[in-house]
């Protein structure tokens, strides 16, 4: 009988590029940059990698549909390489596939890598179809990604009877927190502290989302090498081992947007994926047991609502937690410890692995004091791809024993 992934896979090494407008680098350069850091961290030779998974979403001005860009760029030794794609969960899917390959006993050491050269599209935001799905052209002006996620804010405010000014205060705090964390992260795309007053005074993009409530569009790459805990311990006998505790993914069935009473104020997929992940990891009370999180803050309202969907804040209670500093870097459960999508950036095919990288670095105590989460033993990552009514949610939980 299936018993899940918990403690069957260990992360042997990770690497991540600086995210941003990487005009000087092609996708191949970014792959090499993240891979070399990862390989050095893993402490193995390239020839020991037995399989690989490549995550990349937007193909037209990136690396194409196949997996050979990874095998040829890294000169992998004629091993199986597979390309994964699932909207903003693309890199998490590559990681999930690599972990399942190891857990199944098919391979001992597997690479997962995500990459995206999103700036080369020439768009100021996400290309059509990425945020809005296949029907984006049918829903008028709100078919933009900011427009659709802005509706989440108004639906949430109406459901819980919270004045929109309070919602705006909370999402301004969410954005300011990410800017503060990104400012002290040398690999982040946006590295400037922005006050809540500046955020609320910024040009409006889609009410109530202003300029600073929208994440950065970036180039970047991140990767991981995974293996069994036994192999990891044999290779690193004197080091802490970070294990995979849970991997869960949930996709919309169509119910939200077609034939039920979904009210637009939450993400059904996130709620389902979170419940499955907690069960797999053996977590009874996420608010008390998780050390930190990286969630899919494509827009500040998304992070705000996700706090409740992940069962960290009570339903209708995210406002109090956000404004109290519960999710700040020095708070009870820090969120977006590296700046998040908001400030680290969002190259679609790399973001999921970048989030895991942030958790991994904190758990192994590899960050300077000013960025450190106290007693970091576990971390959750959350991706959300698509629109509020039609999406994919992916959750990973990693940690030390």
Q: What is the pLDDT of residues 225-270, one digit of tens each?
A: 999 999 999 999 999 999 999 999 999 999 898 877 899 999 999 9
Confidence of residue 135 (pLDDT cuts 50, 70, 90): very low
For 227, the enclosing helix (H) or strand (E) is strand 219-227
Q: Which of 13-27, 140-154, 354-368 shows the lowest per-residue confidence on average (mean pLDDT)?
A: 140-154
> Residue 11 pLDDT > 80, yes or no?
yes
Mean pLDDT score, 279-300:
98
User: What pLDDT sits at residue 144?
Assistant: 84
The label of the residue with tokens 């996709």 reads 251
More confident residue, 387 or 18: 18
Rounded alpha-carbon distances, angstroms, from residue 297 to 3, 58, 105, 302, 340:
31, 19, 35, 5, 7
> Residue 140 pLDDT > 80, yes or no?
no
| Burial of residue 379 (number of CB atoms within 10 Å: 0-12, 13-18, 19+) | buried
CA distance 202 to 52: 43
For 73-129, what is the HEC assignment? HCCCCCCCEEEECECECHHHHHHHHHHHHHHCCCCCEEEEEEEEEHHHHCCCCCCCC
**Which domains are delineated in the chain?**
10-123+219-235 (3.40.47.10), 136-214+245-399 (3.40.47.10)
Q: What is the pLDDT of residues 93-105, one digit of tens each?
A: 999 999 999 999 9
Helix/strand number for the chain, H first, E second:
13, 11
Tokens, residue 131: 């945020």
Mean pLDDT score, 359-388:
97
Count Cα neighbours of 2 within 13 Å in the Cβ-side half-sphere. 6
Confidence of residue 129 (pLDDT cuts 50, 70, 90): low
């Amino acid at each position: 009988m299936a018993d899940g992934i918990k403690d069957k896979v260990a992360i042997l090494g990770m690497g991540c590029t600086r995210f941003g407008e990487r005009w000087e680098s092609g996708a191949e350069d970014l792959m090499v940059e993240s891979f070399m850091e990862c390989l050095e961290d893993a402490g193995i030779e390239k020839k020991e990698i037995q399989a690989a998974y490549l995550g990349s979403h937007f193909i037209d001005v990136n690396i194409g549909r196949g997996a050979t860009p990874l095998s040829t760029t890294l000169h992998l030794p004629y091993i199986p390489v597979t390309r994964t794609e699932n909207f903003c969960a693309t890199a998490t899917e590559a990681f999930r596939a690599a972990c399942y390959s190891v857990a199944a006993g098919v391979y001992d050491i597997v690479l997962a890598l995500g990459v995206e050269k999103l700036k080369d599209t020439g768009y100021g935001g996400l290309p059509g179809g990425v945020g809005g799905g296949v029907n984006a052209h049918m829903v008028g002006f709100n078919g933009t990604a900011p427009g659709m996620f802005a509706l989440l804010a108004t639906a949430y405010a109406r459901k819980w009877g919270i004045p929109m000014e309070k919602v705006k205060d909370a999402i301004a705090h969410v954005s300011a927190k990410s800017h503060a964390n990104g400012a002290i992260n040398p690999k982040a795309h946006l590295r400037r502290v922005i006050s809540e007053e500046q955020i609320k005074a910024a040009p409006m993009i889609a009410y109530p989302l202003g300029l600073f409530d929208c994440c950065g569009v970036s180039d970047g790459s991140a990767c991981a090498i995974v293996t069994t805990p036994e192999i990891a311990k044999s290779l690193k006998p004197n080091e802490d081992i970070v294990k995979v505790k849970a991997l869960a993914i949930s996709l919309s069935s169509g119910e939200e947007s077609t034939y039920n009473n979904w009210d637009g104020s939450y993400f059904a997929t996130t709620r389902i994926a979170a419940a499955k992940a907690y069960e797999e990891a053996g977590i009874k009370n996420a608010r008390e047991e998780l050390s930190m999180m990286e969630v899919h803050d494509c827009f500040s309202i998304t992070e705000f609502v996700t706090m409740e969907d992940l069962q960290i804040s009570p339903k209708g209670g995210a406002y109090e937690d956000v404004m109290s500093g519960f999710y700040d870097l020095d708070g009870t459960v820090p969120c977006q410890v590296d700046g998040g999508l908001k400030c680290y950036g969002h190259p679609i095919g790399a973001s999921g692995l970048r989030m895991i990288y942030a958790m991994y670095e904190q758990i192994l105590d590899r960050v300077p004091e000013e960025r450190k989460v106290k007693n970091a033993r576990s971390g959750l990552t959350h991706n959300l791809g698509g629109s509020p009514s039609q999406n994919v949610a992916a959750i990973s939980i990693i940690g030390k024993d």
